[in-house]
Structure 1
Amino acid sequence: MDFKLEVVLLPVSDVDRAKEFYTKLGWREDADVAGSNGFRIVQVTPPGSTCSANFGVGVTNATPGSLDGTMLTVSDIEAARDDLIGRGIEVSEVFHDAGGVFHHAGTAERKPGPDPERRAYSSFLSFSDPDGNIWYVQEITTRLPGR
């Protein structure tokens, strides 16, 4: 049985502000549906992704801005950074972990620049939405076997 990740729920305080931010990223708006009692759900999808992000009113009980660590992947971390900056997004410098794998929480063990060997899965950048939900972008040039 395949289990595929379909949706990530984003806790936001202002739906319209979040919608403006995520569409500014170039994410496709799939839905903006209002229901009874103030319920509203917006769904956006990053380019090339089969997983979407949902946010709205009555969508999650999580505290706005509490998401930390959801990962996007790209084939060129520096081009991705340039793209985000070109869209007016505040983004971190490209970094890698001192230990060479994944990255630590926060900025612990963060070293400037891409992985010196440019190994797949080893170079990152981060950005936050207006509520402070933290996203990471990871460079993957060659997938691990079975992926």
Structure 2
Amino acid sequence: MDMRLEIVVIPVADADRAKGFYKALGWRLDADFTADDGFRVVQLTPPGSGCSVIFGNGVTSAEPGSAEGLYLVVSDIEAARAELEGNAVQVSEVFHDADGVFHHAGTKDRVPGPAPERRSYASFASFNDPDGNRWMLQEVTERFPGR
């Protein structure tokens, strides 16, 4: 049976501020529903993604800004970084990990610049949304077999 990841819930303090931030990145607004009791669900999808994010009022009990490990896979990390900066998003410099396997938590063993030879899956940049939810850009230029 196929199982597809289609929704990730992110905790935010202000749904309208978050909605504005993600729309400014060019993400598609899929839904914005409010119930009489104040329950609200906002759904946006990054360009080219099969997975969306949801946030709102009463959607999660997680603390606003506590999400991390949210990945946006891009084919050109420098271009994606420049696009985010063009939308007034503060983005880290491109980096790779000293071990070259995956990046460590936090900033441990970050080496400035893209991975040697721009090896696929190995170059990263990071940014936060207005609540502090932590996003990573990961450059993938050639997928592993079977992917």
**TM score, norm. by length of structure 2:** 0.98
Residue 122 of structure 1 corresponds to which residue in structure 2?
122
Residue 46 of structure 1 corresponds to which residue in structure 2?
46
Q: For residues 104-143 of structure 1, what are the alpha-carbon distances to aligned partners after superposition, in whole Å with 9 as ceiling and x for unaligned? A: 1110010100002211000000000010000001000000
Which AA in structure 2 matches 1:102? F
Shift of 1:34: 0.2
Which AA in structure 2 matches 1:85? E
| Match runs of 1:12-23 below 5 Å | 12-23=12-23
Which AA in structure 2 matches 1:76? D
Which AA in structure 1 matches 2:129? D
2-structure distance, mates of 1:86, 1:101: 30
2-structure distance, mates of 1:10, 1:25: 16
Which AA in structure 1 matches 2:32? D
Residue 96 of structure 1 corresponds to which residue in structure 2?
96
2-structure distance, mates of 1:117, 1:108: 22
| Match runs of 1:1-147 below 5 Å | 1-147=1-147
Which AA in structure 1 matches 2:28? R
Shift of 1:69: 1.0
**TM score, norm. by length of structure 1:** 0.98
List alignment gaps of at least 5 residues for structure 1: none
SS at structure 2 position matched to 1:5: coil
Task: Give the % identical residues.
Answer: 65
Question: Following TM superposition, where does structure 1 have runs of at least 4 consecutive aligned residues deviating by more than 4 angstroms?
Answer: none
List alignment gaps of at least 5 residues for structure 2: none
